[in-house]
Amino acid sequence: MNLDQVRVLYSEEEVKARIQQMGEIITRDYYEEELLVIGILKGAFIFMADLVRKIDVPLRIDFMDVSSYGSSTISSGEVRIMKDLDYSIEGKNVLIVEDIVDTGLTLNYICEILRKRNPKTLRIACLLDKPSRRKTDTVPDYIGYSIADEFIVGYGLDYAEYYREYPAICILNPSVYEK
């Protein structure tokens, strides 16, 4: 880890403990139910892998790949579906797993599409929430951490496809992206 480029916000141990708590809450909420967990690629893949191992109900997984950032640090607001679901969600309990909810525009778009497919329930779990930047009424049901308006990398989150592998949640030094 290049420490001159990042500052650790939440350590690997803190993140794993919080995900354990989230898994226990989700397990209680879906007790004796089946769950379809949908990961939003690419950022959510590490969080989702750890989260599903902490959920103790029968579950299946699927993925969607959507893009609203490209290689920018600011969402364009235009959402493109790069990969849609492999499974039908009709009549299923669906949990969307997202790395970070920022403006909420992308997540709102995804929820609108998925609601039209008639799931039994539709909830959202996110590792990080930035409520100060929200532009929609979409609010996650399960939140790892609420954070200030900082550019975050690590634990699956990236800047221009770099830093995803960092095991902690880190604040990226602005000198990296303000060039």
User: What pLDDT is recorded for position 1?
Assistant: 58
**103 contact partners, CB below 8 Å, separation of at least 6:** 75, 77, 133, 134, 135, 136
pTM of the model: 0.91
Q: What is the pLDDT of residue 77?
A: 58
Residues annotated as part of the active site: 102
Short-list 163, 152, 159, CA closest to 127: 152
pLDDT in tens, 50-103: 999 999 999 999 999 987 655 555 555 577 889 999 999 999 999 999 999 998
Instruction: Report the alpha-carbon distance of residue 118 to residue 106 in Å, rounded.
Output: 19
Cis peptide before 42 (omega within 30 of 0): yes
Domains of the chain with bracketed CATH: 6-177 (3.40.50.2020)
* Whole-angstrom distance, CA of residue 30 vs CA of residue 141: 13
